[in-house]
Structure 1
Amino acid sequence: MCSCISHSFSLKKVRPMQTKKAQKNHKTKIIVVINQKGGPGKTTLSFHLAHAGIKNEHSKVLCLDFDSQGNLSQYLTDDLDVIAKTDGGVGSLFEGAVPHPSKTTHPQIDLLHGHRELDRYDSDQAAEDRAYSQEMPEMLRSLGYDYIVIDTPPAVGLRHLAPLFWADLAVIPLEPAVSGITGFQNVLRAIDESISALNPKLKWVGVMNRANMRVKSHREKDAWMRETYGDKILATFTTRTGVADAMEESPARPVWAHRGAPKELREQWRDICTQIIEK
């Protein structure tokens, strides 16, 4: 089911670790949500992981929206036009500028927003050099957040792969379909063939999403994933309107804060998202 990854890396781009700075900022956990297939629920999961990171009144979470569609930014700001703001935002990371996260409509969650011109960085050599320098993850950890949650685009490129170099944990949501499983496996191949040499401490978990267990093919693919990858497949989320309803409120909210959602659904999403950020 896997297809080859054409994007390659150069190990010489990684600069030596600055030990003292890394130790000083070790408390920040970086989580990237990724799949090489569009539509498995990356943005929804990123949104919920950010809220799961708010453990107490002192918690601080930063979201990085690398998808040029900017849906995570829209949900966090309640502003459909945020993607038209093409200066600053998450692009500042690739430009070597000091990032200035903005507040959102969600207390304790800040944002480096995505916008419709992010694609330009995928073919920018200077941006690639910055992304794969050791200074990038160290700079992110120096910003003072407890968690940094990164939403990525499905297309292979700098914004898709570089966050794997920065992250502590990759979360791979997938749907119970051949295309979803292929996208999942392609991420694993990228980690094995390229990223593991750059970031050997990277861990990963998978989450089956939008599964209708009354459908035979969904049951079979869910069972195959669990048989193949074991407990690395952390959970199976079924197709439930309560999650979509919560996200489409104004402002958006995690499903566990949506009174119209069934209790078991609220508890499952809260429990699984909490498990993920504590991995």
Structure 2
Amino acid sequence: MKTIAILNHKGGTGKTTSTLNIGAGLARLKKKILLVDIDPQSNLTEGLGLRDVKTSIYNSIKDGTPLPILRISEYLDIVPSSLDLLGAEIELVSRFGRETILKKLLKEVSKDYDYVIIDCAPALGMLTVNALVSADTVLIPLEAEYFAYRGIDRLVSIIGEVRSHYNEKLTIGGVFITKKNPSRVITDQITESIKKYFNEKLFNTSIRINVALVEAQLKGISVFEYEPMSNGAKDYSKLVDEILIKI
């Protein structure tokens, strides 16, 4: 089992959209996938049509109970989130071994999946640390805007600190550009700047702006189910192929 954390400290970067569609894209290739929503906003959970779940990852973090795994399709499962997670950061402060709680929970299901993909909160708190301690690699979505990598030094530093203290195998598996508008001249300049910063870590595949990605989540399904011939589906399919090669 390979565990991937999809992380950006900023909101609006396409993090949850990417988690959903990378997971669905891998499931289409008959890889057994577990999505883990560890963001209190629960956008991934709701983006797969699940609302007002009775038991969420919060219950497992709080009580040590087995992860509440829900079936989405034959190859795709999810551990849902809930607003209760908002209190988890405070509750975790006094817990012994608080950084490794998620890792221990995932270990119990490690034989059942090819990939675990964690949708992190847009913050660098204890829930995100738990995700990084659990992960083999981190994928970072960056929006195709001038301020895309403002604060990215801090994010990279946090990943380095987790690697040094808790998870020596943790790597940055790659960076990919989201919400790309190919018709804007400035987009190429932004891409070059990101490439200079991350070098070979920047994936060749970018995700273009595509309304089907938003509409699919509103319907509670992946873009592959909603509009398989859309640019969004084509881009995420290419990104999945690149992920399989590179990480």
Shared fold, TM over 0.5: yes
Paired position in structure 1 for 2:116: 148
SS of the residue 1:238 aligns to: coil
Paired position in structure 2 for 1:163: 131
Which of 179, 204, 211 aligns to 1:241? It is 211
Which of 180, 184, 196 aligns to 1:211? It is 180
SS of the residue 2:150 aligns to: helix
Change (3 A) 1:55 1:245: closer
AA aligned to 2:243 is I
Checking the alignment, whether the CA contact within 8 Å between 1:90 and 1:99 is kept in structure 2 is no
Change (3 A) 1:56 1:227: closer
SS of the residue 1:189 aligns to: helix
Gaps spanning 5+ residues in structure 1: where? Answer: 1-27
Change (3 A) 1:131 1:270: farther
Paired position in structure 2 for 1:175: 143
Paired position in structure 1 for 2:240: 273
Q: Percent identity?
A: 21
Q: Report the alpha carbon displacement of residue 148 of structure 1 after superposing the two structures with TM.
A: 1.0
Q: Report the alpha carbon displacement of residue 212 of structure 1 after superposing the two structures with TM.
A: 1.8
Q: Deviations over 1:129-176 (max 9, x none)?
A: 34423x752541331222111111112211122211110111110112
Task: Pick which of 223-232 and 179-188 moved more.
Answer: 179-188
Alignment of 1:1-279 (within 5 A): 28-54=1-27, 59-76=31-48, 78-82=49-53, 85=54, 88-125=55-92, 129-133=96-100, 136-143=102-109, 144-204=112-172, 205-234=174-203, 235-249=205-219, 251-255=220-224, 258-259=227-228, 261-262=230-231, 265-277=232-244, 279=247
Aligned length: 242
Runs of 4+ displaced beyond 6 Å:
none
AA aligned to 1:108 is Y
Checking the alignment, whether the CA contact within 8 Å between 1:172 and 1:184 is kept in structure 2 is no
SS of the residue 1:214 aligns to: coil
Checking the alignment, whether the CA contact within 8 Å between 2:178 and 2:208 is kept in structure 1 is yes
Gaps spanning 5+ residues in structure 2: where? Answer: none
Change (3 A) 1:128 1:42: farther
Checking the alignment, whether the CA contact within 8 Å between 2:103 and 2:130 is kept in structure 1 is no
Q: Report the alpha carbon displacement of residue 55 of structure 1 after superposing the two structures with TM.
A: 5.6
Checking the alignment, whether the CA contact within 8 Å between 1:128 and 1:158 is kept in structure 2 is no
TM-score by length of 1: 0.76
Paired position in structure 2 for 1:18: none
Change (3 A) 1:245 1:255: farther
In 2, Cα distance between equivalents of 1:72 and 1:208: 19
Q: Report the alpha carbon displacement of residue 246 of structure 1 after superposing the two structures with TM.
A: 3.1
Task: Pick which of 203-212 and 105-114 moved more.
Answer: 105-114
Change (3 A) 1:80 1:155: same
